[in-house]
Structure 1
Amino acid sequence: MISYEKVRQSFTTWNTVIGILYILNAVLFLFSLLGGLMSKLAMEKQPEIYASLDEITLEALRQSTTPFAFFTFGLGIVITIVIATLALINRSKANKELDDKISYTVYYIGIGWAIISVVLEFLLLGTISLLAPVWLLLFGFFHVFTLRKAQTLKEKNAEH
């Protein structure tokens, strides 16, 4: 026999975790965007500052200040805020025992964003960091695990 109260408690906890992680992620994207803009302005106004940098560092800096990089950072801010908001809304629905109103959308967006972010990293940098697969698996796990909890709660209502 499934303890739906324990499933609901786990579901609300994981939605809180997802919400907090994505809020932090949005803040990091915001700092990346602002840092990129400041670097771009500094490179245009005071190019002599960058004369002492080695070629690899300078190229990484150039890549982080391209229109595509700014698009990626902006997209990241929007998507992570959407995911955080939807996760916290689902948490609220579960707390009110509105299990049939829980939406799966946030988990699908989260899984998609985890995959897309690795692709965008490759397109932006031409390589994938060593942590990218770890983050993909970690965030993928969070979303799939929480999605399964949501499905269990919704199936309970379908049975009754």
Structure 2
Amino acid sequence: QRYSGNPLALQLVAQTVEEFYFGDGEAFLAAETFMFEDIRDVLARQIGRLTEPEQEILFWLAVARVPMAPYDLQARLIQKRSQREIVEALQALRRRSLLERTARGFVLQNVISEYLSERLIETICRELTPSTRGATEGRLTVTNRFALLDMGEQEYIRQSQRRLFLDPIGRY
């Protein structure tokens, strides 16, 4: 469930369980090791090759935490894009197995959502650091591209967004 059946993530987890936990899956689960360096490296390479619209869609899906239709995504994107561009980006992301389609829209696999959430938090914290703030001033940065708390969503989703994004950034 943690890896949403992602074949590459499952293969890496199986290797880790075999090599470091001597085949003991329960010990691996008890250690609560969800995201480890091999998975981060693979996802970083895969996401690094994406176009800007594809990356922006992935980050919005990570923040939203709910299925989103193309028109929902179009309304959220800072840089306005046509419906055709969004659909093409969604098709490309599906071909790469980075998102899934549900009856209500597109969602991320758990492992990808977790990775993107961590990356988003790290990037925002870096942008808020006084030593790097001047370098990003006046540009469209990650900090002002994504609304981390969606007031239009249900309370449980806002609570999740607060816990996953705002609390860690606040502790920074």
TM-score, scaled to structure 2 = 0.26
Query: Comparing both structures, which one devotes a greater share of its residues to strand?
Result: 2
Higher relative contact order structure (alpha carbons within 8 Å, sequence separation ≥ 6): 1
Specify the structure having the higher radius of gyration (Cα): 1
TM-score, scaled to structure 1 = 0.27
Query: Comparing both structures, which one devotes a greater share of its residues to helix?
Result: 1
